[in-house]
Every structure is written in structure tokens, then in C-alpha cells.
Structure 1
């Protein structure tokens, strides 16, 4: 799956993390750093892969479990779930989440606003 840069070139910031996350999402089971390195088929070092996996774990994007002497990593959610998590984190980081949500809905295309209203209408009342 060698989709990395040409020899001697560097990836843009965050590109390797995105590549590793996509690889893990395509796998049916958790992967060790060695398995990730093998699947990447790249000229990366084992320690680079461990660093990337650790960063993704620290960001809450991966879960890990002990497998022998190493950890095996798996995404905590599918691609849509991870996008939703990022949206929630951005919303929670703003001091006025109500204003952010209001602006968000105002800027939605009519079709998406209708979908959002439909989804919210399907939720049970929170009391």
C-alpha cells in the first residue's frame, strides 16, 4: 500500500497520521506497529510508526490493547464517527457553543438543515 511521498520527499503535516488512520479503519482487527509498518510498505522506521500510533491514541482516535510485547491499535469509531467526534471537540472548545451551533445551522444548505431537524425530531425528549 505504498502511498507515501517519493524518496527524499517529506509528507505534508498530518498526512502520515491520516494514512495510518485510514489503514487501520480498513482492517478488520487491531494492528501492531509491525503490522502497520508492513502494510504501509514504506521506508518508515518502526519507531516512527510507534510514534504516530501513540499520537493517534493520545488524541483519542485509537484504542489499544496489549498483544505480546507490543500494543495492537484499532480506531475508536468509523470515519463518520471520527468526524462527529472532531466536530464535538471543536464545539466544546468554544466559549459560546450556542452561538456556534446557531451559526452552523444558519449556514447549512436547506437540504442539510431539513435533515438535521428531522434527526433532532426523532430524538426522545431529554428531561
Structure 2
């Protein structure tokens, strides 16, 4: 799974935040509104369509071709995408234990407590199986 560029990330963030599929025009309007708040850049709908096509090719976006204009939605949740990236990065390491140790050394106490709870749940569900 590839890392996302800035515009790809912005489009995916909009799709993840939306309860409904969005058209390229709706995405362009959303991105322009956000750009006015930050950089002021104008964005053409053709640019959004190009990025959506790339995201579809990467299997990150699903396009509904049965309606006009076409509607787009994320193929998975943001949490699923992030977890897959983390798994890919961990899998590419020659020393998974070292990577995990460094990661755990950088988490906040709250995050560490959440991880402990999740590990306990995983352990407990393994016992009941």
C-alpha cells in the first residue's frame, strides 16, 4: 500500500469524514473551502478527477458508475488504512522487536494504557476460543 500525497490525503480525509459518497465537484468544493482557510489555492475539478482515478487504481476509492455524476467513497475506513500501513512498515523491518520497542518508547501514557487494554482483550479472547 502506497503512502498518500498531500492532495490524495486531503481527498481521502474528505471521503472518510463523509457519511455519503461524494462527487468530484463536491470534493473540489470541499477542498477549495479548506484551501481558502489556509493557502488560498484554486483547484480544478479535472485535477480532483485525476487524483480520484489514481486512488481508484490504488484500490483506495470505489466509484459508483451507475449514476451521473459518478460518486466516490473510500474502500475502507481510515483506521483500516492506517493499520495496514503500520503492518506493512513493520513487516518490512529486519528487526520487528526493535521497531516495536522504539514505537512503544514514543507513545504517551494514555496511548500505552490503551495498548495494554487492547493486548489484554486479545489475550482474553484467545483463552475463550
Scaled by the length of structure 1, the TM-score of the pair is 0.65
- Does residue 16 (structure 1) correspond to residue 7 (structure 2)? The answer is yes
- Does residue 121 (structure 1) correspond to residue 123 (structure 2)? The answer is yes
| Higher RCO (CA 8 Å, separation ≥ 6 residues) | 2
For 1:29-40, what aligned pairs fall within 5 Å after superposition?
Answer: 29-40=20-31
* Mapped partners of 2:79, 2:119: distance in 1: 19
Deviation larger for 53-62 or 23-32: 53-62
How well do the aligned residues superpose, as a CA RMSD in angstroms? 2.9
* Mapped partners of 1:64, 1:123: distance in 2: 37
Runs of 4+ in 1 over 3 A off after TM superposition: 122-125
1:85/1:69 Cα in 2 relative to 1: closer, same or farther (>3 Å)? same
For 1:74-93, what aligned pairs fall within 5 Å after superposition?
Answer: 74-92=73-91
1:118/1:53 Cα in 2 relative to 1: closer, same or farther (>3 Å)? same
DSSP 3-state at the match of 2:42: coil
Higher helix share: 2
The aligned counterpart of 1:105 is 100
Paired residues in the alignment total: 110
Scaled by the length of structure 2, the TM-score of the pair is 0.65
* Mapped partners of 1:59, 1:122: distance in 2: 36
